[in-house]
Structure 1
């Protein structure tokens, strides 16, 4: 019993010592922990606060998808293609030059790209991503992604880049995009942060430029957490951008391709209008160019090739080009005289081949004259003297008023680059623009579309459309936005007496369908597709008295840039008008012989919906028509139904 008590006392002393040791260790640990906590929270608080803040949240802009552009049948005119690229963010990368040198060992990057990237990162805010290289292959993008930990601030991305599948067919209509430049930023009153992203694409010309705000969309953003060395830790949130709106244009890509091919290599233009609603179904300008060259920045060599071409492929002749309309203007002079009551339908004017005003002779194109001409015959045979005579009676102010009523001298609000106003001159215009008084010779020249009168192919197509329909329709290019139909501008019936309009239409029909008509060779065999038209040959040089005395030079004997312009306007079918066309071939020569066949073929293509059959032509012309069409480079005419639907 005594032994048990002794053992219990010894065990109790051992436990007490162990408890003291353990307790001491615990107290020591707690003291060290407390001291460390004090040191970190009090003594080293500034240092750790800085490190914690360097694990920060960055906000990055996300570019939206640009709106697509379609033709009236749903064929894509402007698309977005995937684009593999590499971007660098300066605040994440630190030493940008060093990181780029390491990146150069992984993918091929030129010294020019490195220099440009460094300059852009220094110029822009530290958080703005700068594109180092784009259009990489999947293999190149993968190598960058695998080496990501060794490349702080470098991010492989998949973006979108604009492309134009129909290439040169719509270069002048749709236009093209290109990287935003310092010049763009200086010109634009636009605070959109997207414009600060290097190589962000914006519209430069055409619909792409004029509808930029509609097509661009709104930026999204991504919130990411990065650590002190710039490595992305995680994405905290992501808000995708709002895509730009899709546009559907009024143009028909099949007809547009035919127009461009039919104009061939000429310096020329053609505009086709739907006379029932003003829709522009084709707007051709030749020669054209591939807009894809401009998307990434065109090379100096390619640009020099375009700018040195005397046919001016970069100019949109259909809306920018202003030309003397020549005899295609005679319908305007005729209607002005008829409406003013200074001439009647049956009244005749004698044409001896010239009209003398003061000490100057104003010549008719037919040197021997036409004899007695009434309105119908004057249009049919294009007698100049008839219009000289009636213009003196009606005066230039009424002619100018009629020109504007029919669409000449009006700048149309279309989403295209540099749409010209043209000139429908009068007394006030000459005083304001030339500081000179109007004289009778100015009126005589203007009566046949020469002198100060200038019109664009677009305006001549509108003029012909209004003559055919009898309505004040304005041209429309955008059919719908995100599936929402855009308004047709119809100001009602043309303020011209129906009997006078009918007389002019009959004269235009006679041009192409009656013997001795200047366009009789352009007649169509199919009765339901008969066309009515008017030829024009406008001079670009003065013919002196000495030249007339020794014989006027033929166009083919002159340098190209001194030859006459060839013009033709027409509509069809005559009994139920649907399409109007204007064609101009710069320095082409005769309107009926050069521009006329092109205009006829375009109208037939529009009405048939395909390459015109040979039996539409007079038998003597079918072999020529076959040769022309076989030589044309036409695209397939399939029209997929992929038009944009409403987002509502």
Structure 2
């Protein structure tokens, strides 16, 4: 009995051992099959995944292209940017280290809080920016005290620098950090790099892609914690293109300093044949360097609230009633449409009755009998009221558009404004009302609904002086690829009509309203036209009391304008000046005198 029980027990144990062995064998088979699948059949895939975890591909920021003037003088370049960084895992206490650095780097409480927040967000081995744009003294202080500053190091990057500062701020523009909207719109990986900056205004913005360059890449091996072990491969970034502008930096500085005397205004000097812009000044300006280095909030608010609008490019983005500088357009419209001929005369007694309204000439007693040339010289309003009435608003509109008004010029700058030249169709679209003939008289002397930019005035003057549909430009060449052009279409005006306009402009400077601005040097004389644009209408009662523009508060005074070309016998340069609230066109004419004389003495067009 006992032997049988032992035998049964052994048989039971044997069966159980066999079942367990079979189960183990099956599990080993499954495990072996899985290992074969992973290590043999899927080895290539998992090797790639392992490499992805081991190897990181990182972007390298490109060096931004430089911007120079027509002579090669730097207008925007890259300077070394010394930055202090901290690695939190290498310092016993970040807060204690920051307290040590307070006096060396002038760290404020808000800046310390910003650093501590970044340290908390980043991995312990990742560097965090403490302060950039360090001076040599600050760099030296950190280096000398390095033993007491574990985890702190000095890094060298690039920062955009603008040598001419506010003198060329509106043309060159500035760079600043990428915002969320720009990052979303472009979806360009390089924009996400810490501290990467792009053009936000001026040439920097318009030619952003040319100046930005191409990002490079580096392959680095990292450990399980993401720390870099070594570099495996590198494709260096390609620097942005070098951009040469038509601007003459020295002439630009002359214009900027000259406008400083007038408080607020704009000036453009342009080649009458190529459209190259030698000067585009808008005063006051701003220092673009503060944007590339980070502008304080209080300074930003001050720039935005200033009544002189220093952030606005008045040369291409400021719109003004052209005043009497528009009279060339009115006269050419009258001649081109056949409404008047070259012998047209008007008797001016100081008043021009029209319907139930009386329009006034600027000269109370009138100018007597005036022809076209004398009307220009004395800027007789009654003569041009008559021409405008005869030609009609649509003829004026047609001529104005041919001279470059009423639309953007196509200048390679952002935020250009088109101005406005009214017409019967425009009035119907804008108000639903018909055009009233009396409105034409206001437009004929550059008032009413018409507004233009200083750049458009320069283009108008270039087209009258050359007879061709010249267009302005600022980029002379991009990486030695030329952008100049001289084969402009000829304007559809008779030469004798253009000659009559030029004769009138010559008379303005010889013995007319701009006689004080004559250039005396032989071969450099200029022709031009003054203009005063009302900001606030002086009432009839005020006129009777003898109230004048200069007696009004500054913001209500007339703008002073002047357009010109030189030399008279062979036009080469054109100039347009607007002195905001400068009262008289003669004020702007004196500014133009200085700019045109300086331009001809320097002769930047000689190297076009």
Q: TM-score, normalization: structure 2? A: 0.84
- Residue of structure 2 aligned with 1:256, choices 242, 252, 259: 252
- Label 1:229 to 1:127 Cα distance change in 2 as closer, same or farther (>3 A): closer
Distance 1:448 1:417 in 2: 30
Find out whether 1:604 has 2:601 as its counterpart.
no
Find out whether 1:561 has 2:555 as its counterpart.
yes
Given that 1:84 and 1:141 are in contact with CA atoms closer than 8 Å, whether structure 2 keeps it comes out as no
Matches within 5 A, 1:77-96: 77-86=75-84
Match of residue 518 from structure 2: 523
Match of residue 354 from structure 1: 351
Match of residue 570 from structure 1: 564
Given that 2:243 and 2:477 are in contact with CA atoms closer than 8 Å, whether structure 1 keeps it comes out as yes
Q: Aligned-pair distance for 1:347?
A: 1.9
Find out whether 1:190 has 2:183 as its counterpart.
no
Matches within 5 A, 1:61-76: 61-76=59-74
- Label 1:206 to 1:326 Cα distance change in 2 as closer, same or farther (>3 A): same
Given that 1:100 and 1:114 are in contact with CA atoms closer than 8 Å, whether structure 2 keeps it comes out as no
Matches within 5 A, 1:424-443: 424-443=421-440
Residues 286-334 of structure 1: per-residue CA shift (max 9 Å, x gap): 1122111111221123223323322111111101110000000000000
Distance 2:235 2:101 in 1: 31
Given that 2:66 and 2:243 are in contact with CA atoms closer than 8 Å, whether structure 1 keeps it comes out as yes
Match of residue 447 from structure 1: 444
| Unaligned stretches of 5+ residues in structure 2 | 1-34, 40-46
- Label 1:127 to 1:408 Cα distance change in 2 as closer, same or farther (>3 A): farther
Query: What SS class does the counterpart of residue 171 from structure 1 fall into?
Result: helix
Q: Aligned-pair distance for 1:511?
A: 0.7
- Label 1:352 to 1:221 Cα distance change in 2 as closer, same or farther (>3 A): same
Residues 503-512 or 229-238, more deviating = 229-238
- Label 1:427 to 1:535 Cα distance change in 2 as closer, same or farther (>3 A): same
Given that 1:247 and 1:481 are in contact with CA atoms closer than 8 Å, whether structure 2 keeps it comes out as yes
Q: TM-score, normalization: structure 1? A: 0.79
Match of residue 173 from structure 1: 171
Match of residue 104 from structure 1: 98
Given that 2:246 and 2:476 are in contact with CA atoms closer than 8 Å, whether structure 1 keeps it comes out as yes
What RMSD in Å do the two structures reach over aligned CA positions? 3.2
Q: Aligned-pair distance for 1:115?
A: 4.4
| Unaligned stretches of 5+ residues in structure 1 | 1-40, 611-636, 644-648
Given that 2:530 and 2:585 are in contact with CA atoms closer than 8 Å, whether structure 1 keeps it comes out as yes
Match of residue 545 from structure 1: 540
Distance 1:595 1:58 in 2: 62
Residues 269-290 of structure 1: per-residue CA shift (max 9 Å, x gap): 1000011200010001111221
Query: What SS class does the counterpart of residue 489 from structure 2 fall into?
Result: strand
Match of residue 579 from structure 2: 585
Given that 1:107 and 1:140 are in contact with CA atoms closer than 8 Å, whether structure 2 keeps it comes out as no
Distance 2:58 2:94 in 1: 21
Q: Aligned-pair distance for 1:114?
A: 5.2
Query: What SS class does the counterpart of residue 221 from structure 1 fall into?
Result: strand
Q: Aligned-pair distance for 1:59?
A: 2.6
Query: What SS class does the counterpart of residue 442 from structure 2 fall into?
Result: helix
- Label 1:86 to 1:197 Cα distance change in 2 as closer, same or farther (>3 A): farther
Distance 1:432 1:250 in 2: 39
Find out whether 1:213 has 2:206 as its counterpart.
no
Residues 310-319 or 99-108, more deviating = 99-108
Matches within 5 A, 1:626-637: none
Given that 2:325 and 2:530 are in contact with CA atoms closer than 8 Å, whether structure 1 keeps it comes out as yes
Given that 2:559 and 2:582 are in contact with CA atoms closer than 8 Å, whether structure 1 keeps it comes out as yes
Residues 252-276 of structure 1: per-residue CA shift (max 9 Å, x gap): 0010000001111411110000112
